[in-house]
Amino acid sequence: MLDVGDGHQIYVEESGNPEGRPVIVLHGGPGGGCSPFMRRFFDPAHYRAILFDQRGCGRSRPQASVHANTTPHLIADIETIRQTLGLESMLLFGGSWGATLALAYAQAHPGRVTGLVLRGVFLGTQAELDWFYGGGAGRFFPDLWAQFCDPIPESERGDLIAAYHKRLFSDDAGRQGRYAQPWLMWENALAGLQSSAVSHAPPDYARAFARLENHYFTHRCFLDEGQLLRDRHRIEHLPAVIVQGRYDMVCPPLSAWRLAQGWQGCELRLVPASGHALSEPRITTELVQVMDAIRDRDNARTV
């Protein structure tokens, strides 16, 4: 547990080779937290894998707190982790919101990053939020979209992020929990190509996920509109690989395409018959291949 100030303590773990190539794993959400599954992309003989739960979620405390919880705070937390562990620089591995945070950190501290491996790119733009919470994705999943909209009165459905925010941040913890479930279920149901709607998630997890994600989306991810594309020039000297599901309904491939266009050192891999989730079989396979290829190049240089 690492004290990062503002009353927050964040959970950090390391695995693999203590002298290996450092890679920081940035989970999605915001609010998702890390899992043991996320360690499995990194050959433990080669990589020093560093996972952490971002402020307010997972094993970090206080849970579900949005106090002093913004993108600049998370960028500062990554710097604190880097300094605490004595890292000169590191590879960034992140998907969905984790890709957003990886890009934001790299653009803020380009000299501390050796490369990026991104999945399911989300750039934090209004168009992306409109797609997912304004009915775009609902055109493909009208039944699930109806379940997401149903708890909200028709008069408030013009801005579902704001409508859910009012309820997720009410003074009634029970009410927060009741509205956290449909918020989480909408995203989970669309995450995988073969996903099916699930009716319930652990209450503490659902509350943290929904509150943090809604908090960030209410504030447009604490980024200027178009910032990550605008400032891409700051990281164009870095190598990057984007693994993107062709049928990603949470973060459609257009954002990954726009990010990669004109970035000479960036390779975009559009994965067929795949959606958004890290656990999608073809996505998992592709990311393992990417990390093994980086390992092999590193080893070739040291021979």
Q: What is the pLDDT of residues 54-80, one digit of tens each?
A: 999 999 999 999 999 999 999 999 999
Q: How far apart are the first and last CA of the chain?
A: 38
Average pLDDT of the residues of the chain: 96
Signed CA dihedral, 285, 133, 25, 224: sign only: positive
- Give the pLDDT confidence score for residue 302 in this predicted structure: 78
Same domain, 97 and 151: no
Same domain, 167 and 295: no
Nearest partner of 278 among 102, 122, 48, 118, judged by Cα: 118
Q: How far is CA 174 from CA 64, 171, 180, 231, in A?
A: 14, 9, 10, 42
Same domain, 117 and 144: no
Find the domain containing 74 and state its range: 2-125+223-302
Same domain, 110 and 229: yes
Q: Classify residue 8 by its DSSP letter.
A: E
Same domain, 158 and 293: no
- 253 φ, ψ (degrees, to nearest 5): -60, -15
Q: Which two tokens mark 295?
A: 């390992």
Within the chain, which residues score under 50 in pLDDT?
A: none
Q: Of 221, 237, 266, at which residue does a domain stop? A: 221
Q: Of 192, 221, 250, at which residue does a domain stop? A: 221
Catalytic entry in 215, 248, 255, 274: 248
C-beta separation of 106 from 265 below 8 A: no
Nearest partner of 92 among 137, 81, 260, 164, judged by Cα: 81
- 196 φ, ψ (degrees, to nearest 5): -130, 155
CATH of the domain at 42: 3.40.50.1820
Same domain, 84 and 141: no
Residue 248 is a catalytic residue: yes
- Give the pLDDT confidence score for residue 176 in this predicted structure: 95
Nearest partner of 223 among 79, 122, 93, judged by Cα: 122
Same domain, 195 and 162: yes
- Give the pLDDT confidence score for residue 60 in this predicted structure: 98
Identify the three-state secondary structure at position 159.
coil
The model carries a pTM of 0.97
Condensed to tens digits (0 to 9), the pLDDT of residues 239-291 reads 999 999 999 999 999 999 999 999 999 999 999 999 999 999 999 999 999 99
Catalytic entry in 96, 195, 255, 274: 96
How many structural domains comprise the chain?
2
